[in-house]
Structure 1
């Protein structure tokens, strides 16, 4: 994709869709895949240039802006499905039969989610006494981590970034989800359980929330732009590790959860604290995902 001078090959100058596809592909890079790292920087630069020039036709411009905001590999799939259906509906080459099938599929799955939510809403929070001991330990671990965050706020404690991320990993239940998913593997052995104890934390929980950015700003004395860049690099590094583990012998359930957790975190905290202050963009996305069917 580059010529001898490191510039975009002339033949690709007007291949915006191809550059966009390469941009998306670069986000599945594993640690050490330098060519894909270069492709990520290269395509990001040129896509931003295309946006600034205003040379893209409206529909393609919409797709490029969406990708630059957050790559497909980092997005929660069902949320992106709705966005894509609505974008496809505005395409001149739209096939009405395919569109209707996609809408029906989305609404059917949404109905399943509604049923599951109704079941969850019947759970009694006071039922902890009825849980087995190992489940009580999980619950108390999450409860204590959440309390630690509350203490920081009330006491004016300003944690360092590593301290904040470690606590977020616990309070978000990341360790519980990952452990349960790992134990559901078909080829679980004593050796694999011992190796799992060293599995790296997915430090994406609240990765783009203002709290993590402020922690790094206070710790390092840098401006917000530099702190945001640092958090973005942490997220990229974590994703490279996750991408590498997808080719491991871990069970498919574990791999699915390992990818789903950071995608959910991006969804909840991309536009600020979508959990603690859920009245903005995140709330609208949740409503459209779970409660508002697509019109046929």
Structure 2
């Protein structure tokens, strides 16, 4: 009962935050949930511990919203002056400003107080980095947050970084630090076992060797999976996620840089039919990939049938068909030289990025899948799946689109908006960044609603 031994509410929140950032929170889920529920219930009646304390108020706000509790942005109005700026008396409260900055990324649509607070806090924190380096621990946290907020980071990578940083905290708990190091190494060994499994699967599949034009990125695929799916008991989810990502990477390159339009139309049709007897219609190199896809997906579906008693083959067939159809749309744009509008691009690209397919496969290894949940994903997709996929796509466009264009890919979101609106590349990039920010707000709303597949 680690949290039960802590009386002060702020110390409880700080301990929860530390456990989460060190990757230890999964050991204390029940305690953390109970503590946050109690704090949420009591936060209006007992405010003395956080009164006039920006750091405490923002930390409570972030942790509660992260876990689905509704907290109004008005809790920050007492820290603002008459014109909506952060009170000048707080300009040197860098610990509080950092807490406010991190909390602001749990923003919802229309929350102008948080919007303004983020901008002002960022400005003051950037100034702090330039002028101060006397507090190494705080300086590193500020620099890290301004690079990328905690809410947007991969938990596993954050844990590895934070272990080293927490060691520099003069107020650290040495027992928790020792536990974090031990736990990280134990979990790492489990992840290595998962990696050995998928490496053997990939080697036996032979796609990396046979498709020398395609990106062989199993390690990157696994890093993505392990970075998000941390818990030791979620090995099957990491494995499925990696397998699907590896299969997507290869077929993406088939559609982008290798297949002719006729071959791609044929392959899309064969995937939609999902019949191994149709394989004779494909060129030899596509036969190899289709066989690998068909067998791998059916094996995952069989595993789900054994564990859950639900036949998910029709569900997975539709998801893979949707992906191939989205790839085919992009291939037709490329071969005809068509530049889509930004909205046309988005309507197709959120599917072609493959995020929805990977998230749906991950759903299959949870212990509570239902026919209703599968139906909602298949027919409507959820807002969280749509939003997550869109962020993956748009963020990827900002980072890699020039490289992909050189490989012969279609114009990405930046180029589509430039062509449609006649703006400069930097203006287009800023527009895409705003779209990403708006999508995060919607995801935050869905997270608070706790309705992932409704």
Same fold (TM over 0.5): yes
| 2:380 matches 1:197 | yes
More helix by share: 2
Query: What residue number does 2:431 align with?
Result: 230
Query: What residue number does 2:441 align with?
Result: 240
Q: Deviations over 1:263-288 (max 9, x none)?
A: xxxxxxxxxxxxxxxxxxxxxxxxxx
| 2:186 matches 1:108 | yes
Question: Larger relative contact order (C-alpha < 8 A, sep ≥ 6)?
Answer: 1
Q: 1:222 to 1:59 in 2, by over 3 A?
A: farther
Query: What residue number does 1:142 align with?
Result: 323
Residue 148 of structure 1, CA deviation: 4.3
| 2:54 matches 1:54 | no
Query: What residue number does 2:220 align with?
Result: none
Query: What residue number does 1:283 align with?
Result: none
Residue 62 of structure 1, CA deviation: 2.4
Q: 1:101 to 1:227 in 2, by over 3 A?
A: same
Q: Is contact 2:84–2:113 with CA below 8 Å preserved after alignment?
A: no
Query: What residue number does 1:158 align with?
Result: 339
Q: Is contact 2:323–2:352 with CA below 8 Å preserved after alignment?
A: yes
Q: TM-score, normalised to structure 1's length?
A: 0.70
Residue 114 of structure 1, CA deviation: 2.2
Structure 1 residues without counterparts, runs of 5 or longer: 256-296
| 2:427 matches 1:221 | no
Q: Is contact 1:185–1:250 with CA below 8 Å preserved after alignment?
A: no
Q: Is contact 2:376–2:382 with CA below 8 Å preserved after alignment?
A: no
Q: Is contact 1:128–1:136 with CA below 8 Å preserved after alignment?
A: no
The Cα RMSD (Å) is 3.3
Q: Secondary structure at the match of 2:393?
A: coil
Q: Which aligned pairs between 1:56-135 and structure 2 lie closer than 5 A?
A: 56-57=133-134, 58-121=136-199, 122=201, 124=205, 126-130=291-295, 131=298, 132-135=313-316
Q: Is contact 2:106–2:151 with CA below 8 Å preserved after alignment?
A: yes
Residue 96 of structure 1, CA deviation: 4.4
Residue 180 of structure 1, CA deviation: 5.5
Cα distance in structure 2, aligned partners of 1:178 and 1:116: 18
Q: Is contact 1:182–1:250 with CA below 8 Å preserved after alignment?
A: no
Between 1:181-190 and 1:109-118, the stretch displaced more is 181-190
Q: 1:155 to 1:192 in 2, by over 3 A?
A: closer
Cα distance in structure 2, aligned partners of 1:206 and 1:83: 26
Q: TM-score, normalised to structure 2's length?
A: 0.48
Aligned residues: 252
Cα distance in structure 2, aligned partners of 1:194 and 1:95: 45
Residue 152 of structure 1, CA deviation: 4.6
Cα distance in structure 2, aligned partners of 1:147 and 1:192: 25
Q: 1:19 to 1:199 in 2, by over 3 A?
A: same
Cα distance in structure 1, aligned partners of 2:358 and 2:104: 28
Structure 2 residues without counterparts, runs of 5 or longer: 1-78, 206-288, 299-312, 402-412
| 2:393 matches 1:206 | yes
Cα distance in structure 2, aligned partners of 1:92 and 1:220: 53
Q: Is contact 2:315–2:374 with CA below 8 Å preserved after alignment?
A: no
Q: Is contact 1:24–1:72 with CA below 8 Å preserved after alignment?
A: yes
Structure 1 or 2, whichever has the larger Rg, is 2
Between 1:63-72 and 1:162-171, the stretch displaced more is 162-171
| 2:109 matches 1:35 | no
Q: 1:194 to 1:79 in 2, by over 3 A?
A: closer
Between 1:231-240 and 1:57-66, the stretch displaced more is 57-66
Q: Secondary structure at the match of 1:63?
A: helix
Q: 1:143 to 1:226 in 2, by over 3 A?
A: same
Q: Is contact 1:165–1:205 with CA below 8 Å preserved after alignment?
A: no
Q: Secondary structure at the match of 1:31?
A: coil
